[in-house]
Structure formats: structure tokens, C-alpha cells
Structure 1
């Protein structure tokens, strides 16, 4: 069981490492920006449809109001001409139209409320998007700094290990060269010293004759 657990741990570590490498924060921010832009486009399209419905409702109210006014005029005209049945029919249609008109006004208010809410949501979405864009710039700058620092740290680590090792080797070589030069100097200086000693021991012929003459004179004096 211990072996399988270790294999699982190693596999999970490798998978997490791959995911960390794939998960580019800047790419993620760009993807979030694209998704936000798509949401804004959807919201704008929905707002356009909502405004169309609002205008259509306003046109329906205007048209119904015109019919109400028309039936009202027809009812008055029928009353003036003593046409009670026609007046009653006109008044009936007028009352029906007024009820419809009241309903249309209520619907129009509801539509306006929906339009206002949708507009506020889009404005909030756009504000969030703008904030995210500014934040993305800041985060991108931070990511670049972090990446540069990470690269510098890697380069520094490489420099400290490789260059220092090479420097130690060069220093050792220089020390060996210095020791070799000293040793070589000693080897050459010894024969020279011997030569100098031999030179110091050399006596020329004149000096030798003078010393012999000196000894003869001393011997004669003693006799």
C-alpha cells in the first residue's frame, strides 16, 4: 500500500505542476475580459429589445388613447343626433378601451421599471469591466515584475553555483602555478649559489705567490 500511495503522490504532484505551468494568470485575465465583454454585448442586446418593447407599448397607448377620444366624439355626436343606440355602442367601446388603456399604462410602467433595472445592471457590468481592465493592467505589471524577478533569481542561482565553482578551479590553478614557479625558482637558484660559492673560493696566481712569499719571509726571520 505504501508503494501505491507514493505513486499516487508523485502522479498528483506531476499533474499539479503541469496545471500550474498551463495556468497563465495573464491569459486567465484576458479570458475573463472576453467573457465580460460578451456579457456586456448580451446586456446591450437585451436593453435594445427592452427599449423596443417600451416604445411599442407607448405607441399602443397612444393608439388606444386615440380610439378612446374617437369613441368619445362619436358618442357625443350620436347623442346630439338623438341616436341613443349608436351613442350607447360608442360609450361601451370607449369604456372597454379605457380599461385597456389603464392596463397598457400599468404594463408601460412595469416595462419602464424593467428597462431601468436592466440599464442599471449594464452600467454596473460596464463599471465592473472597466475596473477589471484597470486591475488587469496592474496585475499584468505585477506579473511581469514577478516573472522578471523569478528569472533573475534563477539566473542568480545558476551564477552562484556555476561561476563560483569555475572561480574556485581558476584560483586553485593559479595557486598551483605559483607553487610551480616557486619550485622552479628554487631549482634554478641552487646551482647559481653553488657557482657563486665556487667563484668565491677561486684564488688567482698573484694572490697565491704573494702569500707564499710572505710565508718564506716569516720562515727566514725565524731562522
Structure 2
């Protein structure tokens, strides 16, 4: 019963479609890890069951071989006893002849019994041999499927790492777009331009103040000349250019 259960389990696992199972899984990598563990455990169970089945088959074969050898041995003994009986009968010793004929019959009876046992074991040996071959084929299929799972897992892990790297790059790009360094440069440039404008404004203001001061000096010079001419008029002079 245990052997049949193991055989059914092997067949079910070998028939399993890896890609279909992965597609149905929420987390393919975890699914594959679990499948690898299950397959590894099942392979170990299958190997133990197959080893036991092979051991039982070898015992049957050993017993069959012993029965065949025993049948041959009893046949030889029957032949030897029959020949001995013939010798005694030829010499006129019927008592010993009958004795060895009886021994020949006993040997022949045991030969028949051994042959029957050997013959009865042959169908069981054939069936057990067929089971062993199927179990071996199933085990090989499981090992191939395990290799497929392991390769699939390695591929999936690599793809997951690549996807994670791409996600990080995309997030970095989004972060750059959100905090565009060129916009920061523009902001600093505008700030510097405003400071430069302030400096120019201050310079223009300073220049305007100087011009005003010089204009005041010019106005003062004009007033002084007017006063001088006024004084000349009062002293009886003529209003004209004052010479030095």
C-alpha cells in the first residue's frame, strides 16, 4: 500500500506543470522554494521506497534461483538413484533396487515441489520488476523536474533582482524630476541677478547723489556771480562780465 502511495505521488509530481503552478502563485519565488523542498523530500521518500522494493525483488529472485537450483539438484539425485536401482535390479538384487527406486521417487517429488515454487514466483517477480522499472523512471522524471525547478528559481531570482534594480532607477529618476537640479540652479541665478541689480541700483543712486552735489556747486557759483554783479551795479559800474 505504501509503495502504491509513493508511486502515485511520484506520478502526480512528475505530471505537475511547473509554469502553471507558478502562474497561480501569489509569490512565485516562495512557491518555487516550497516546491523544491517538497520535491527534494519526495525524492528522498521515493528513493527509500524504491530501494525497499528492489530489495524485496532481489529476495524473490534469490528464492527463485534457489528453487531452480534445488529442482536441478533433486533431479540429479533422482537420476542417480534410478541408475543405482537399475544396477541392483540387473544383478538380481530386487530389494536394493526397489529401495533406490523409492529414493528416486522421493527426489522426483521434491524436484516437482521446487519447480512449482519457482514457477509460482515467476509472475510475482515479473510484476515486481515492472513496478521497479516504473518507479525508477518516475524517480528520474522527478529528478529532472527538480532540476527544472531549481533552474526556474534561479531565473526567477535573477529577474526579481533586475526588476528591483529597475524600480530603484525609476524611483531615482522620479526623485530627480521632482527635485530638478536645473531648477535649483535657475533659482540661485535669479537670486544672484537680483543681488547684481541691487548693486547697480545702489551705484546709480550713488551717482545721482554726486550729480546733485555737483549741481548744487554750479548753482552756488551762479549765485555768487549774481551777487558780484549786483555789487558792481551798486558801486556805479556797468552790469557786465566781471574780469579778474
Question: Could you tell me the TM-score, scaled by structure 1's length?
Answer: 0.69
Aligned to 1:29: 32
RMSD between aligned residues: 3.5
Aligned to 1:56: 59
Displacement of 1:197 after TM fit? 4.8
Q: CA, structure 1 residues 101+216, in 2 after alignment: closer, same or farther (shift >3 Å)?
A: closer
1:115 and 2:132 are equivalent in the alignment: yes
Stretches of structure 1 lacking an aligned partner (at least 5 in a row): 1-22, 218-223
SS of the residue 1:117 aligns to: helix
Aligned to 2:72: 69
Which of residues 158, 161, 164 is equivalent to 1:144?
161
Displacement of 1:73 after TM fit? 2.2
Number of equivalenced pairs: 191
Stretches of structure 2 lacking an aligned partner (at least 5 in a row): 1-25, 86-97, 230-237
Distance 1:124 1:89 in 2: 52
Distance 2:161 2:30 in 1: 13
More helix by share: 1
Question: Could you tell me the TM-score, scaled by structure 2's length?
Answer: 0.64
What are the Cα deviations for residues 128-181 of structure 1, in whole angstroms up to 9, with x where unaligned? 1112222221111111101221232233333433x24x8757744653553354
Aligned to 2:107: 90
> Within 5 Å, which residues of 2 pair with 1:1-223?
24-80=27-83, 81=85, 82-83=98-99, 84-161=101-178, 163-164=179-180, 168=183, 171-172=186-187, 175-176=190-191, 178-179=193-194, 181-183=196-198, 185-199=200-214, 202=217, 215-216=240-241
Deviates more, 1:145-154 or 1:73-82: 73-82
What are the Cα deviations for residues 90-121 of structure 1, in whole angstroms up to 9, with x where unaligned? 32332232122112222222222211111111
SS of the residue 2:63 aligns to: helix
